[in-house]
Amino acid sequence: MNIERCEQLLEFCSTLPVKHEPFPSGRFFDMSSWFHHHECGTSGCLAGWSIAMFGNEAQKWALANPAESDEPEWEEEAALLLGLPLAIAEQLFHIKDETRALERLRSLIGQYARVAGKRE
């Protein structure tokens, strides 16, 4: 696990408003959408925001232009960027509740940090 990236993702998504109607302007955290541009803002799940934050230019372009690109395997791309095994990433990315998804990410960071000897 890339603990630093996961911590940055956790901090970023924790500050975003969660999905609701009508969307306020800006960015949103929405575990039901990989990454979607709305008239009044952009929503994304943990996988989508991972690519938006840490992906290369081609990945970011594909994320922003899904109709014009071959849709990559977002889960695999995000898992690689976060340094997570695919099976763990898939479990994380399929949590449909935003609060539970953040709690799970926080728990994974703690588990990996303890194993790496970075925290007690």
Per-residue pLDDT of the chain (120 residues; tens, 9 = 90+): 999 999 999 999 998 877 665 555 567 777 777 776 666 667 788 998 999 999 999 888 888 887 777 766 888 999 999 999 999 999 999 998 888 999 999 999 999 988 888 654
- Non-local (6+) Cβ contacts of 15 within 8 A are none
3-state secondary structure of 26: strand
- pLDDT score for 101: 92
Range of the domain at 57: 3-116
Number of domains in the chain: 1
- pLDDT score for 25: 58
- pLDDT score for 120: 44
- In angstroms, the CA 36 to CA 4 distance is 25
